[in-house]
Amino acid sequence: MATAFSLHGIRRVDFTFVPRATLAVQAHPGSAWRGAFGHALKRMVCAMRLRPCEGCPLAGVCIHPAFFGADSAAEAGRPYILCPDRAPRDGLIRPGQAFRVRLTLLPSAESAAAYAVRALLEAAAAGVSARRVPLDCRAIADAGTGQPIDPGGSLPPPEAIHCPPPPARVRLRMTTPLRIRLGGDLLTGRTLLPGHLVGAALRRLRILGLPASPALADAARAEAATLRFEQPRLGWVETTRFSSRQNSAMQMGGIVGEALLDLERARHVWPLLWAASVLHLGKGASMGFGRIEAAAA
């Protein structure tokens, strides 16, 4: 039986927005939402008239650098995950059509949670596309309990998220591009192995300050080394994001698709796959990349 596993201090908030005019978005629009979120957060908290964060005398106490600082080494440890719904097939969200965005805040962001929630609301109201189409918020709810959240009131405390019992078989769905590097190269659907997912999950938990116990980590690695995907249907999708910092368009391709895993003799692998479904994996996780759905098959 796998070791009991829980994640503590994580806040997950679901926002339901509707655009006021037709909104054109990419299939995976996390980059656009993150850009709008970052600008809104800076407008809200910057006491230095929106000067660049680099060299700012308040950088050590301001919440914005932790969320959006230029230090590339900090990217993997960003204290939030912003994951919008996948866009409709035609890339258009029409007026009145509901569109959900999930904001996950890690324990290190708890003191800034109220700012983050307000910043996302203001980002949507200001518009998130090149046309700056504004969106109205129709609902805010706790993603775990479904309880509504009053945007004008205080936030409820985050609750522990407990890993469910391990299924004998699990279906994994990579619903947004998964970007995991090995030896400097990105893994593809042909080279990805279950052990890569377990290793990436352990690294992500450690970086976020939520490390798995050594016993669980060792057992999961050993079990994952014996596993192979069943019925894999893993492909590659390219998406483009515009980096305002670099003033250029960047290609952000990754693995998408699904596969089955038999966990009958690999029960310690399950908590790591479950954690990945909450925290995402790989590069670009803060903008919703690396989202993995794990469900009993």
Is the pLDDT confidence value at 2 over 60?
A: no
The domain tally of the chain equals 2
- Pick from 142, 174, 202: which residue ends a domain? 142
Q: 128 and 27 share a domain?
A: yes
pLDDT given at position 59: 86
For 70-105, the pLDDT digits (tens) are 765 567 789 999 999 998 999 999 999 999 999 999
What integer best gives the mean pLDDT of the chain?
Answer: 92
pLDDT given at position 60: 86
Q: 248 and 280 share a domain?
A: yes
pLDDT given at position 72: 55
Say whether pTM exceeds 0.85.
yes
Q: 131 and 176 share a domain?
A: no
Q: What's the token pair of residue 265?
A: 């003799």
Query: In the chain, pLDDT over 70 holds for what percent of residues?
Result: 95
- Pick from 142, 174, 196: which residue ends a domain? 142
* Distance between CA atoms of residues 33 and 128, nearest Å: 6
Q: 175 and 106 share a domain?
A: no
pLDDT given at position 128: 87
For 154-175, the pLDDT digits (tens) are 899 998 999 999 999 999 999 9
Closest C-alpha among 254, 232, 250, 235 to residue 186:
254
Rounded to an integer, the average pLDDT of 182-186 is 91
For 24-37, the pLDDT digits (tens) are 988 889 989 999 99
In single-letter form, the type of residue at position 164 comes to P
* Distance between CA atoms of residues 71 and 227, nearest Å: 36
Is the pLDDT confidence value at 248 over 70?
A: no
User: What's the CATH number where 174 sits?
Assistant: 3.30.70.1900
Sign of torsion, CA 46 64 174 7?
negative
Q: 123 and 193 share a domain?
A: no
pLDDT given at position 245: 59
Q: Is residue 148 part of a domain?
A: no
Domain that holds residue 172: 163-296
